[in-house]
Amino acid sequence: MKFVIANDHAAIELKETLKTWLEARGDTVVDLGVGPGDKADYPDKAEEACLAYLAGGYDFGILCCGTGIGISISANKVKGIRCALPQNAFAAAMAKEHNDCQFIAFGGRIEYQDQPVDMLQAFLTAN
């Protein structure tokens, strides 16, 4: 599968974790986010990734900011994009199965009970 991923400066490590996990599975990840030492405004990163997705060629998009809140709100303002901010793996699966989300968002400063990688896996394996 092919993913577009983007992040602001508050979720660089999380973005790398998700990207590494996907690439280890054999997926292709196009990274539009910032790296160490860089800063970005999360609305800009959300819009960039959503427009890239809508241009075609991607299966899913992943967005990360400090909480996941700002970047998911921004993504959902883009016409045609449905972005989930799941609380746990169950919600992540439902985001695809019941809400047909193409994007999933996570927070790099959040202490999750279900790790983002596990939520992403639940999202991807859902029907």
Closest distance of CB 64 from ligand RB5, Å: 8
The answer to whether residues 70 and 42 touch, using CB atoms and an 8 Å cutoff, is yes
Q: Which stretch binds ligand RB5 (CB under 6 A): 52-60, 64-72, 85-93, 113-121?
A: 64-72
Stretch that binds ligand RB5, among 25-33, 67-75, 88-96, 114-122 (CB under 6 A): 67-75
Q: Does 70 bind ligand RB5 (CB under 6 A)?
A: yes
- Number of residues that make up the chain: 127
Give the tokens for residue 127.
Answer: 């029907």
Phi-psi region at 56: left, alpha or beta (left = phi > 0; alpha = psi -120 to 50): left
Ranges within 4-63 binding ligand RB5 (CB under 6 A): 8, 10, 42
Q: How far apart are CA 19 and CA 7, in angstroms?
A: 11
Q: Which of 30, 54, 69, 126 binds ligand RB5 (CB under 6 A)?
A: 69
Q: Is the Cβ–Cβ distance between 71 and 13 less than 8 Å?
A: no
Q: What counts of helices (H) and strands (E) characterise the chain?
A: 5, 5
In the residue annotation, 98 being an active-site residue is answered as yes
**Closest CB to ligand RB5 among residues 66, 93:** 66
Interacting residues toward ligand RB5 by CB under 6 A = 8, 10, 42, 65-67, 69-70
- What residues act catalytically? 65, 98
